[in-house]
């Protein structure tokens, strides 16, 4: 009923349109949801971090590709018995609705970012999100965080090119707002300036 599956960085976990045989919970690693245009331009439409859920109650297929961004472990459940469980347990159905609404809110925040934010604002928002959501597991207090993707993947998430991502990271570093321990570990040095750089309402994060 329950099984673990592993994927290497770069592996495709699910293709768009493929029948969904299982639902899953992210155990470790980072995966991305992405959509592609005819000519190959791609846009990530979601990130899956540990504890996130993969699956669509009542749907037999998905409208995007799911790809392992880093090495990934999933905890999988067969779809059919899982759906039976959902039908029989209102509490679980309710929880899934909450998750769907959270994803919807996240998608809409990202629409604002993609449609209206400058490259600098996009990068600042992305860093701020990682610093908040993907806190490194050793301590909750250090601002040291993982950057779990390549510049190219970040570009596809933010609707930019990898060159622009690189330039904006280095601009924020030069200004002393962030610092890099190495290419995939960063630290927020000035959270106030970072928040200002996102373009969001000052109280946006506090209220939500």
Partner DNA sequence: CAACAACTTTGATTCAGATCAACTAAATGC
Partner DNA sequence: GCATTTAGTTGATCTGAATCAAAGTTGTTG
Residues within the interface to its own copies (CB under 8 A): 17, 33, 35, 37-39, 41-43, 45-46, 56-59, 63-64, 87, 90, 93-94, 96-98, 100-101, 103-105, 107-112, 114-117, 158-159, 199-202, 207-208
Minimum distance between the CB of residue 45 and its own copies, rounded to whole angstroms?
Answer: 4
Contact 25, 52 (CB under 8 A): yes
Out of DNA, its own copies, none, what residue 120 binds, judged by CB under 5 to 8 A for its kind, is: DNA
Tokens of 179: 């610092």
Name the residue nearer to DNA (CB basis): 25 or 42. Answer: 42
Name the residue nearer to its own copies (CB basis): 109 or 190. Answer: 109
Q: Is 127 exposed, middle or buried (0-12, 13-18, 19+ CB in 10 A)?
A: buried
Out of DNA, its own copies, none, what residue 114 binds, judged by CB under 5 to 8 A for its kind, is: its own copies
Contact 115, 125 (CB under 8 A): no
Out of DNA, its own copies, none, what residue 60 binds, judged by CB under 5 to 8 A for its kind, is: none
Tokens of 69: 């961004």
Strands 65-68 and 31-36: antiparallel
Compute the distance between CA of residue 101 and CA of residue 116 in angstroms, rounded to an integer: 23
């Amino acid at each position: 009923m329950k099984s673990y599956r592993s994927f290497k960085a770069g592996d495709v976990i699910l293709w768009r349109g493929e029948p969904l045989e299982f639902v899953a919970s992210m155990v470790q690693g980072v995966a991305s949801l992405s959509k592609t245009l005819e000519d190959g331009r791609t846009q990530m439409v979601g990130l899956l971090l540990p504890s996130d859920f993969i699956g669509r109650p009542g749907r037999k297929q998905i409208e995007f590709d799911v790809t392992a961004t880093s090495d990934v472990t999933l905890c999988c459940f067969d779809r059919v018995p899982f759906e039976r469980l959902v039908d029989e347990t209102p509490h679980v159905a309710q929880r899934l609705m909450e998750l769907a609404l959270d994803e919807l809110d996240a998608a809409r925040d990202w629409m604002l970012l993609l449609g209206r934010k400058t490259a600098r604002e996009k990068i600042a928002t992305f860093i701020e999100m990682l610093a908040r959501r993907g806190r490194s597991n050793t301590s909750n207090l250090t601002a040291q965080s993982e950057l779990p993707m390549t510049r190219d993947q970040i570009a596809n998430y933010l609707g930019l090119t990898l060159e622009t991502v690189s330039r904006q990271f280095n601009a924020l570093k030069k200004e002393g707002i962030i610092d890099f321990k190495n290419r995939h570990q960063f630290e927020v040095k000035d959270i106030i300036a970072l928040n200002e750089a996102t373009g969001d309402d000052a109280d946006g994060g506090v209220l939500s």
